[in-house]
Structure 1
Amino acid sequence: MRIKFKNIAFLVASFIAIVCALPVMAGVEPLSAIKVKVVTNDGSPAGFVSLQLKEKNRGGMTNERGEYVFRKLHAGRYTVQVYLIGYNKVEKEVDLKEDEILSVNIELEATHAELQEVVVNGERNKYKVDKVSGSLRLQTPILEVPQNIQVVSATVLADQQVFDVVDGITRNVSGATRTGHWDNQYANIRMRGSKIPAFRNGMNIEQSWGPTAEDASMIDRIEFVKGPAGFMLAAGEPGGFYNVVTKKPTGNTRSSVNLSMGSFSTYRAALDFDGKLSKDGKWLYRLNLAGQQKDFHTKYNYNNRYVIAPVVKYLLDEKTSVTLEYTYQASKYLGNGNYTFSRRKLLDEDIKNDFFYQDPALEPSTLKDHSAYLYFDHEFSDKWKAHAQVAYFNFAMEGSSMWLSSIEMNGDMKRYVSQGDEAGENRFGQFSLSGEEYTGSIRHRILGGVDLGIKKFWGDFRTLKNDIRLPNLEDPRKPADVIFNVYNPQYGIPFDSMPKLDRSRSVRQRAANSGYITSVSYASVYLQDELGFFNNTLRLSVAGRFTQAMTTGRERKTDKTDKVFSPRVGLSYSIDKNTSAYVLYDQSFVPVTGVDSSGNAFDPVKGNDMEFGIKRDWFNGRLSTSATVYQIKRVNDKTSTGLVDSRGQAVMLQLGETTTKGLEIDINGEITPGLNVTLNYALTDSKISKESPTITEESKKTVGNITPNTAKHITNAWVNYRMMKGALKGFGVSGGIQWQAERAVGATRVSNIPNYFRVDGGLNYQLGKYNIGFVINNLLDDRRLLTQATLAANAAGYYTYIVEARRNFRLSVGYRF
């Protein structure tokens, strides 16, 4: 089943009619204006710089291109003042005529102290980010947005020596946790009581267990958007989403190389080239390459990967550009997870930290992930701009996997081998128009757009052979008849005992017989107006989005069409130029694939988010703080029953309603020169508040249970201090903690898995173009750090869990040229 063309045409026509009417709705033409462009003394745009109009006591901040416009001005003489720490203050007088838009260029000159310091730390004060990326479509600084948005910069990732999205990024955001599963490939991140989808460059690429975890070499920043934020993009969880923004050409010629090594035979190299392809600067490029060999703490398991990510940008003129981006991620790995199993208890100390439940005789799995983006950007004027992008994703995995069928109290475990093939294909298209107009003294920041997409998935996970056994060590000539034991694991399954993998037919053909075949398609149109009152000190955001989504499966009765309108209202008030408070109401909608035990298609997940927050910048904008309280009601969450059907697929059910109440505190930025911090705390109280209508037996009632896979208290801290002068200039020390308490999995009314507390620390040195970083993870060598767990449902059941690596280190050396 597909979305009908007439429905898409209606959505597009409605959107065009709305945006064409916007200039008429605006009514009143603006008066004179001063358009300021600020650059540094090397000609680079000075983004996010504070500036002020002295005579009017009006101020603002430049965008990423170093531009800002003072609007609604009468003719006269004005003084433009520009401030940036480490640069000389600039004042420039201009004469403005009636009905004139005057362009002013200002060049900043670094102070002597800054010139000395930049050699030591060229990435100073990059823990704090003031504005979201263009992929979120927002024109408003984060301080003024009526929503909790946290940005993890590339500098933070480098300081923590993060290799990919799976690798501890959640420590930088309040309330975010990662649930381990396929540690080799996928990031399952939870926030505000639910799993949140993965976005890349503003598009929802969540599918199956994926997407493939992005390598750090291709990441410019990661934006965590709390709450549904449905006005920005098509569909989203009420808990929010995370948006990976990939590296793009900057127009500056600069390159870098980083070499890393570490525990468990880890070796890595990453190259980043950024520059111009033509002398006139119209052709720009960015090329990122990475290769990695990495073993896991579990015996025999590994993940080797490489990444190729070229980007080419063409500037047609000053207002129009076209960008083409391609990314190829490939990996080869052995196991489908670092699981441990025990019939006795959770965290069985008789099972070693390096326990591996599979076997090196298993055929390695390979994953090949292709993605391509085409972007088009155009500025109609200094007030209006359009953005369009299309994307194509294609990934394929081939291999085999092993799982247990039963385990005894003495540790004997029977295992079976399955086919492990899957494929996915996604297509997306987005168009947005944003601008700014005035009606009288009221400023309008208008955002409208169309969002289209289709996601398809095929999988073949058939069981190929049961009861895989080991050879008899006493008499190798005898057939394999030894059962694997978790307390005394032996490896080396004979090749003739391993099943043969049949790929004579494509995975798409095989999936049709196995039932692992789904498709989700959607079309959406949205419109938002942010009205600014009293010289933009009070801002009212009103938005709405209409979405039509279709989910299809193997059988026609599983097909489902949903048409949903999602409203959004936000109010933000600037108490002073550094402090704002906001209140927000937002709704969300997520189509859900699959069927329940009766064969009925699942209903979509819907949510309502109500929150209040306060944000403040300190120390002349170097440090930001935010505090948020919220309540989310979420219906139709899909969860496992712990049972399987006749085809071996997990039987799922939908919960009635979960209610999540929480408090979030985030602090990040520079406290004093050289001292950067990321601190956060979250209280997440998430429980089931209404029963699913399918639950009728009293013994199965769930109201009052904690929402599975949540932690009530989460605290994270990361501190990096670098000496700015003296004999130790360039030398730095870093350290951090991660703490999670009152964690719950499965059906429970009380926390049922141990708390999590991890300490990391390191040393670093930066001098000119060179930098060296050394980090020790899990300094306390705690071998009980759980990232995933399921508890025994009955006496015949077993415990399943994933334990993080014991103490380990990473050493990196970098050079910029």
Structure 2
Amino acid sequence: MQFKRVLLLGALCTCALTNNLNAGEKKTSLYSMAYEKNLPEEEQQYGVVRGKIKTSDGNAASYVSVKLKGTKFGAISNEKGEYQIKRVPAGDYTLVVSGVGLVSKEKQIAVSPKGIVMADFTLDEDHSQLAEVQITSRKNKFKEDKVSSSLRLQSPLIEVPQNIKVVNQKLIADQLVFDVVDGVTRNVSGTIRTGHWDAQYANISTRGTTIPAFRNGMNMKMPWGPLTEDAATIERIEFVKGPSGFMMANGEPGGIYNIVTKKPTGQNRSSVTLSGGGYGLGRAAIDLDGKLSRDGRLLFRLNAAAQTKGSYNKFNYTDKYVIAPVLSYQLDSNTLITAEYTTQRVEAQALGTYGFSPKGLGATDPSFFIGDPTLDPNKLFDHNATFYFSHNLNKTWKVNSQVAYVKYGLAGGTPWPSTIAENGDMKRYLNISEELAINKNAQLSIMGDVETGSVIHRIMTGVDYGNLKTWGDFASTRVADLQLTGDAIFNIYNPVYGSLANPPSFDRSKSIKIRSALAANLPYLTNLTYTGAYLQDEIRMIDEKLRLTLAGRYTHAVTVGKSNATQISDNAFSPRVGLSYSITKNFSAYTLYDQSFLPQSGQDIEGNIFKPVEGNNIEFGVKKDWFDGKWNAVAAIYQITKENVLTSDPRSGQLIDPNNPSAGVYGNYSIQTGQQQFKGVELDISGEITRGLNVVLNYAYTDARVSKDTRADYIKRHTPNSVDHITNGWLSYRYTKQGSVLDGFGLTGGYQIQLGRHAGTIAAPLALPDYYRFDAGASYERGKFSISCLVNNLLDRRLLTQGSFTNVANPTATSVSYYTYIYEVPRNARVSVSYRFK
């Protein structure tokens, strides 16, 4: 009840604020209203100093120091160049503004009781410091202090009561990562990627559950997508741990990962990069960033990349290109609109790189290929158009909105074994593979601060909408047996390629929508619509050292099958309660309770519609910045409980009527009595430990098990795709001594270790071998040029990213049980050469 009262109070504050926003700047100073009406008398002797700082070329001066000379009062400007110093005692002061590479300035100000002093600055470059700035810019700064605006969280990461890890563009470049599949997860504790259709999507898990892909704060989750993001378009990747129901509407309780795409900066950061490497890797990427108008109001950015890549699988390859233009226009000092479009095209001989053997995991050579070079390749595409609108209502409040349209498609075929003999003879069939997905998203949010005495209410409220429709055909057409010419037999230990008797092709004359509507045996059909409204009040008390977050989200989700008769409507309220306390300026502790829900399609044996799967998270953690914020450490402990999990109905396969055997038996049905629990400990360290040495270190212990099930023998079994112990490390050292021949030389290296790996299914659990991988490289920067090289999987170990077991109920001479697995890429090297235009 108390929680609902707080939410109501937050809503009333928001409404009261909205009614005053249009009354003019003089009447919309919330700070003035607070000082005049709400402050105790002893607090009315304080004032506020705030303003905006920009450079001489009109760009915002971010992270600039602002201090009142001779006092302890000060602030740092944010990414928009804005700063604010609160609770300044009345009196006369000298305001000093300074930043690296900028000429410092001073201004005399007088702070009056209950008053607000506006002090803006324009700073010139200090050419005597330019060399220092250039050296600083070459450092690999892996630490981030804030999330992007697309996550709608306004406070610094050290104050947010949640474990959020940001992988920035500099770290991605340092590891020579070309897409999300390329090992990005190594930078985040407890996070792994499970191999599957690597040419299509990333399949990332954290805290024991698969997490959906977001793009600029909007849910892009599709049954088999979206297409893996290319590094050419990525500014940063934000991994949000825990259910995050408040932000993500619906999904698994492990969390989300949010791809933040590159936007125009107004500065000349243009560059071109050429790369090459093992297994026929060739890549070219260009990044153009600049102004289209002299006044800097119309900006553009164009990122494009083309890549060809072979495979350790014989005859397999992946070719792709991506084009991503962005335009932004500053209507006035308070309003910015941005339009972004991204398109990708991919051609792959096979989507996956599977190995098979009845002898055990990894029993065939990595070069084994289940397909054939005479088969038609798979072709994939996606189009993503997004429009953004941002408007500052006044100095404190702002409105953000965005809409996105994504269209994704696949046309190809999937070969798979129908039988495998003990000696390795395999019969293969070929299924049609085709999919179309359309994802629409819209968001509107309002955020700002309200002061009531010495307490600040950081309010955020908004609404969002999403609609996902997918049509999939993976079964309507099948070539039962891919026969070789003559009497040749395909054997997994000695395969023969290029001699199919009759290379098949599929009839795609009818669209996938028509086929999905007509065929009763196509289960891959999705139509999910959700709308949500949310409100959050971050109550900042005791000089903002103590922060209580109270939030709630109401979501209405509708899932529609092939007919309206199978329509499922779900309503969920997801509360969020967080508490964060700054023990010191650079040390905070937090606790969090959060929820998620995931709509379920289908029905039980009685025809009852399944309830949504619900996730509850309880979490505690500490965050510490070290040595003036150069590096930080985050430690967290959590427990997630996942309710309403589908499990097998004990009546499946039994007689419908024991007294009438002719009535038949029940099919395979599920019931919702399952529960899973995920417990764990996480530690993340990142930043510059000492001059020139940047590191990313992490460790996670995850205990993911079945806690309730209809079958007692399933209880306490590990959930698939979870790992007991994961630790990763990445070190990057840059020598930066001017005048030295080694100036700009760097060394990089890292490790990945996974122990206690669980695969298969709950019914048929499978343990994967322990995972040890080591990488090492070197780089050199001089002026506008840089060159980097990296050797991945340095010890050339046979590493597996996935495994399962197919049990043949009645083995014969030509059909036995077998293992399926995917190898990590064997040892390979990469080299990249970059040129920056400025």
TM-score normalised by the chain length of structure 2: 0.88
* SS of alignment partner, residue 484 of structure 1: coil
1:690 aligns with 2:694: no
**Aligned partner of 1:535 among 543, 550, 561:** 543
Q: Which amino acid aligns with 2:680?
A: G
What number of residue pairs does the alignment pair up? 781
Provide the C-alpha distance between the structure 1 equivalents of 2:507 and 2:671, rounded to a whole number of angstroms.
33
Match of 1:704 in 2: 716
* Post-superposition offset of 1:471: 1.4
Match of 1:807 in 2: 827
Match of 2:588 in 1: 580
Provide the C-alpha distance between the structure 2 equivalents of 1:526 and 1:184, rounded to a whole number of angstroms.
36
Provide the C-alpha distance between the structure 2 equivalents of 1:467 and 1:37, rounded to a whole number of angstroms.
70
**Aligned partner of 1:592 among 595, 600, 605:** 600
**Aligned partner of 2:211 among 164, 189, 196:** 196
**Aligned partner of 2:512 among 482, 500, 507:** 507
**Aligned partner of 1:717 among 725, 729, 740:** 729
| Contact preservation (8 Å) 2:720, 2:765 | no
* Post-superposition offset of 1:47: 2.5
Kindly provide the CA deviation profile for residues 270-306 of structure 1, in whole angstroms up to 9, marking residues without a partner as x. 0001111111211111110110011111111111000
1:664 aligns with 2:682: yes
1:222 aligns with 2:237: yes
Cα RMSD of the aligned pairs, angstroms, is 2.7
1:443 aligns with 2:456: yes
* Post-superposition offset of 1:637: 4.4
Mapping of 1:217-366 within 5 angstroms? 217-348=232-363, 351-366=364-379
Kindly provide the CA deviation profile for residues 158-177 of structure 1, in whole angstroms up to 9, marking residues without a partner as x. 01011111111000000100
Q: Which amino acid aligns with 2:146?
A: K
Provide the C-alpha distance between the structure 1 equivalents of 2:648 and 2:331, rounded to a whole number of angstroms.
52
| Contact preservation (8 Å) 1:233, 1:451 | no
Kindly provide the CA deviation profile for residues 472-512 of structure 1, in whole angstroms up to 9, marking residues without a partner as x. 3xxxxxxxx43311000111143x62333111110111122
| Contact preservation (8 Å) 1:682, 1:715 | yes
| Contact preservation (8 Å) 2:443, 2:462 | yes
Match of 2:660 in 1: none
| Contact preservation (8 Å) 2:694, 2:733 | yes
Q: Which amino acid aligns with 2:468?
A: K
CA distance 1:625–1:568, change in 2 (3 Å): same
Kindly provide the CA deviation profile for residues 36-82 of structure 1, in whole angstroms up to 9, marking residues without a partner as x. 43446766433344544466634443221121112344542234455
| Contact preservation (8 Å) 1:774, 1:812 | yes
Mapping of 1:618-697 within 5 angstroms? 618-637=626-645, 656-691=674-709, 695=710
* Post-superposition offset of 1:23: 6.2
Provide the C-alpha distance between the structure 1 equivalents of 2:273 and 2:806, rounded to a whole number of angstroms.
45
* Post-superposition offset of 1:604: 1.8
Q: Which amino acid aligns with 1:409?
A: E
Mapping of 1:310-459 within 5 angstroms? 310-348=325-363, 351-459=364-472
* SS of alignment partner, residue 752 of structure 1: strand
Q: Which runs of 5+ in 2 are unaligned?
A: 1-7, 21-29, 36-46, 654-666
Q: Which amino acid aligns with 1:724?
A: T
CA distance 1:318–1:798, change in 2 (3 Å): same
Match of 2:749 in 1: 735
Q: Which runs of 5+ in 1 are unaligned?
A: 1-12, 473-480
Of residues 716-725 and 60-69 in structure 1, the stretch that sits farther from structure 2 once superposed is: 60-69
* Post-superposition offset of 1:591: 2.0
Match of 1:9 in 2: none
Q: Which amino acid aligns with 1:226?
A: K
| Contact preservation (8 Å) 1:687, 1:706 | yes
| Contact preservation (8 Å) 2:375, 2:504 | no
Provide the C-alpha distance between the structure 2 equivalents of 1:318 and 1:355, rounded to a whole number of angstroms.
60
Match of 1:147 in 2: 162
Provide the C-alpha distance between the structure 2 equivalents of 1:203 and 1:574, rounded to a whole number of angstroms.
31
Percent of aligned positions that are identical: 49
Provide the C-alpha distance between the structure 1 equivalents of 2:426 and 2:65, rounded to a whole number of angstroms.
64
| Contact preservation (8 Å) 1:15, 1:450 | no
Provide the C-alpha distance between the structure 1 equivalents of 2:583 and 2:111, rounded to a whole number of angstroms.
30
* Post-superposition offset of 1:93: 4.4
Q: Which amino acid aligns with 2:33?
A: E
* SS of alignment partner, residue 213 of structure 1: coil
* Larger-gyration structure (1/2): 2
Of residues 294-303 and 233-242 in structure 1, the stretch that sits farther from structure 2 once superposed is: 233-242
| Contact preservation (8 Å) 2:645, 2:672 | yes
* Post-superposition offset of 1:601: 4.7
Match of 1:131 in 2: 146
* SS of alignment partner, residue 171 of structure 1: helix
Q: Which amino acid aligns with 1:742?
A: G
CA distance 1:363–1:536, change in 2 (3 Å): same
CA distance 1:270–1:263, change in 2 (3 Å): same
Provide the C-alpha distance between the structure 2 equivalents of 1:248 and 1:509, rounded to a whole number of angstroms.
39
Provide the C-alpha distance between the structure 2 equivalents of 1:296 and 1:549, rounded to a whole number of angstroms.
41
Provide the C-alpha distance between the structure 1 equivalents of 2:95 and 2:164, rounded to a whole number of angstroms.
31
1:497 aligns with 2:489: no
| Contact preservation (8 Å) 2:397, 2:448 | yes
Q: Which amino acid aligns with 1:138?
A: L
1:68 aligns with 2:83: yes
Provide the C-alpha distance between the structure 2 equivalents of 1:141 and 1:450, rounded to a whole number of angstroms.
23
Provide the C-alpha distance between the structure 1 equivalents of 2:105 and 2:181, rounded to a whole number of angstroms.
44
CA distance 1:30–1:78, change in 2 (3 Å): farther
Match of 1:753 in 2: 768
* Post-superposition offset of 1:242: 0.2
Match of 1:19 in 2: 14
Q: Which amino acid aligns with 2:213?
A: A
Provide the C-alpha distance between the structure 1 equivalents of 2:183 and 2:365, rounded to a whole number of angstroms.
23
Provide the C-alpha distance between the structure 2 equivalents of 1:106 and 1:575, rounded to a whole number of angstroms.
35
CA distance 1:682–1:75, change in 2 (3 Å): same
Provide the C-alpha distance between the structure 1 equivalents of 2:226 and 2:669, rounded to a whole number of angstroms.
23
TM-score normalised by the chain length of structure 1: 0.91
| Contact preservation (8 Å) 2:717, 2:762 | yes
CA distance 1:33–1:18, change in 2 (3 Å): closer
Q: Which amino acid aligns with 1:560?
A: I
| Contact preservation (8 Å) 2:270, 2:836 | yes
* Post-superposition offset of 1:545: 0.3
Provide the C-alpha distance between the structure 1 equivalents of 2:683 and 2:369, rounded to a whole number of angstroms.
39
